[in-house]
C-alpha cells in the first residue's frame, strides 16, 4: 500500500526532483535531469535499468525478440521496421495466435513520435550576439498527425464552400444594391456574424481536442497514467551537456506545439545545440535532434560596454553642470551657506514641517512622553541653576528696582 501511494504521487515528486537538479546551482547540466527522467520511466513500467525495452510487452517476449532475428533487435525502431510475417516466423513462432495479438496490441501503444522544429529571432533574419532565439517545436505521432492534418484541410474547404456559394448567389444582389445606393440588409450581416462565431467556436473546440492527454500502457502502475514528454535544450559542445534553458514538459495526444527560448552567446561563431525529448511513461522512446546556429556581431547595435560608457558620460555632464552652477551662484554665509535667501527660507520651512510631523508621530504613539520628555526635563533641571546664575548679567538689580518702582508708582496713582 505504501508503494502504491508513492507511485501515485510520481506526477508531483518527479517535477520536484527535476526542479532540484536544474534550478539550483550556478550551472545546470542535463545528466542529473536525464537520470531523474529515466528513473520515472522505470518506475512506471516496473523495470530495472539493465532490462530490455521489450520487457514492456506482455507474455515475456523480450528474450524471444532478442534471439529471434539474425541482426540484434534492441530498439523500438528496429522492431517496428520488421514486417508482420517476419515477426511471426522469426520472433513469435512459438507463441499462440492470441498471444501474438496481445503483443501486437501492446506494441501499437508504444509511441512512435517524430519532431519538426525551426529556429530564429523574431523580426530578424540573422542571429546576432545576445539575441533571444526562439525554437518552435512540433511533436507528432507517425501516421496519426498526417491523417488529422488532411482532415483539417478538408474541414477548412467545406467551411469555405458555403461562403463561396453565398458570394456567387449574392454577388448580383450586391452589385444591384451598390448601383442603387442601397445599404446591405442587417439580417445578412447578422447571419455572417453568426457564421463567423460558429467557426471560432469550432476552432476552440479543435484546440481543446488537441490538448487531450493519452493514457499510457502501464499494467503495474496503480491507477491511470498519462503520457508526458520532457523537452531539454542542451549545448552540445559543453562538457556534461549544459542545459541552455529550463526543462519543459508537454502532454502529447496526436500532436502538440511548444516553443523554447534562449539567449544567444556573447561571442560570434558556430554553436551546436541538441533537442532531447523523453517520454516519462515508456522506456526506449526517447530521441535527439541536433541543429547549429551561426552567431554574428551587429556593428550597428549597441553593446553593454556602449551603454555603460553613455552612462558614465551622462554622469560627468551632470557633475560639470553642478560645478558651473556653484561657480555662478556660490553659497553665502549670511544665507546659512545657501545660494539665496529664498532657498534658505524654503529649507527652513521644510525643516519646520518635518519637525512638526516627527513630533506628532512620536506624541501620538506615546514615544515622546516615554522617552523624549524625560530627557528634556532632566536636561532642564540640570541646567536651570546655571541659567539662574547668569540672570544678573541680563537683568542687573538696578534695572529690576526701577521696574518695581514704576509698578508701585502706577498703583499709587490709581
| pLDDT tens-digit series, residues 321-371 | 888 887 887 877 777 777 788 888 898 999 999 999 999 999 999 998 899
Q: Kindly give the parts of the chain with pLDDT less than 50.
A: 147-184, 209-210, 412-414
Can you tell me the distance from the alpha carbon of 226 to that of 213, in angstroms, rounded to the nearest whole number?
Answer: 6
Q: Name the burial class of residue 304, with classes exposed (0-12), middle (13-18) and buried (19+) by CB atoms within 10 angstroms of its CB.
A: exposed
Strand 242-243 and strand 269-279: pairing?
unpaired
Grid cell for residue 114: 517524430
Q: CB pairs under 8 A, 24+ apart, for 119-122? A: 119/291, 119/293, 121/264
Can you tell me the distance from the alpha carbon of 129 to that of 202, in angstroms, rounded to the nearest whole number?
Answer: 43
Q: Name the burial class of residue 236, with classes exposed (0-12), middle (13-18) and buried (19+) by CB atoms within 10 angstroms of its CB.
A: middle
What global pTM score does this model have? Answer: 0.60
Q: How many CB atoms lie within 10 A of CB 282?
A: 21
pLDDT at 326: 77
Can you tell me the distance from the alpha carbon of 212 to that of 191, in angstroms, rounded to the nearest whole number?
Answer: 32
Strand 287-296 and strand 127-128: pairing?
parallel
Cell 530495472 appears where? 48
Q: Name the burial class of residue 181, with classes exposed (0-12), middle (13-18) and buried (19+) by CB atoms within 10 angstroms of its CB.
A: exposed
Total number of residues shown for the chain: 414
Q: Which of 302, 295, 248 is nearest to 270 (CA)?
A: 295
pLDDT at 259: 92
pLDDT at 154: 33
pLDDT at 230: 93
Amino acid at each position: 500500500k505504501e508503494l502504491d501511494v508513492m507511485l501515485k504521487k510520481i506526477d508531483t515528486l518527479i517535477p520536484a526532483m527535476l526542479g532540484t537538479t536544474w534550478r539550483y546551482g550556478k550551472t545546470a547540466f542535463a545528466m542529473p535531469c536525464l537520470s531523474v527522467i529515466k528513473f520515472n520511466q522505470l518506475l512506471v513500467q516496473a523495470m530495472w535499468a539493465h532490462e530490455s525495452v521489450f520487457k514492456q510487452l506482455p507474455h515475456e517476449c523480450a528474450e524471444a525478440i532478442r534471439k529471434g532475428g539474425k541482426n540484434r533487435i534492441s530498439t523500438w525502431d528496429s522492431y517496428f521496421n520488421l514486417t508482420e510475417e517476419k515477426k511471426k516466423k522469426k520472433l513469435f513462432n512459438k507463441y499462440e495466435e492470441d498471444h501474438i495479438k496481445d503483443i501486437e496490441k501492446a506494441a501499437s501503444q508504444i509511441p512512435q513520435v517524430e519532431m519538426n522544429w525551426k529556429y530564429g529571432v523574431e523580426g530578424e533574419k540573422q542571429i546576432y550576439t545576445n539575441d533571444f532565439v526562439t525554437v518552435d517545436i512540433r511533436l507528432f505521432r507517425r501516421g496519426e498527425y498526417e491523417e488529422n492534418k488532411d482532415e483539417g484541410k478538408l474541414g477548412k474547404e467545406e467551411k469555405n464552400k458555403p461562403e463561396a456559394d453565398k458570394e456567387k448567389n449574392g454577388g448580383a444582389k450586391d452589385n444591384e444594391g451598390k448601383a442603387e445606393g442601397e445599404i446591405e440588409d442587417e439580417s445578412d450581416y447578422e447571419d455572417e456574424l453568426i457564421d463567423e462565431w460558429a467557426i471560432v467556436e469550432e476552432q476552440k473546440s479543435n484546440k481543446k481536442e488537441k490538448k487531450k492527454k493519452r493514457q499510457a500502457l502501464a499494467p503495474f502502475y496503480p491507477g491511470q497514467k498519462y503520457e508526458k514528454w520532457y523537452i531539454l535544450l542542451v549545448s552540445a559542445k559543453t562538457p556534461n551537456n549544459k542545459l541552455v534553458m529550463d526543462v519543459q514538459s508537454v502532454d502529447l495526444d496526436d500532436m502538440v506545439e511548444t516553443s523554447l527560448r534562449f539567449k544567444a552567446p556573447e561571442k560570434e561563431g558556430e554553436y551546436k545545440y541538441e533537442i532531447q525529448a523523453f517520454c516519462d511513461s515508456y522506456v526506449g522512446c526517447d530521441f535527439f535532434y541536433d541543429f547549429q546556429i551561426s552567431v554574428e556581431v551587429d556593428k550597428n547595435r549597441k553593446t553593454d560596454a556602449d551603454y555603460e560608457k553613455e552612462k558614465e558620460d551622462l554622469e560627468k555632464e551632470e557633475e560639470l553642470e553642478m560645478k558651473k552652477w556653484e561657480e555662478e551662484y556660490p553659497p553665502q554665509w549670511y544665507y546659512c551657506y545657501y545660494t539665496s535667501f529664498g532657498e534658505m527660507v524654503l529649507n527652513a520651512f521644510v525643516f519646520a514641517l518635518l519637525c512638526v510631523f516627527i513630533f506628532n508621530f512620536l506624541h501620538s504613539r506615546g514615544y515622546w512622553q516615554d522617552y523624549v520628555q524625560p530627557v528634556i526635563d532632566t536636561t532642564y533641571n540640570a541646567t536651570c541653576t546655571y541659567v539662574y546664575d547668569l540672570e544678573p548679567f541680563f537683568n542687573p538689580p538696578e534695572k529690576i528696582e526701577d521696574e518695581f518702582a514704576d509698578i508701585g508708582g502706577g498703583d499709587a496713582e490709581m
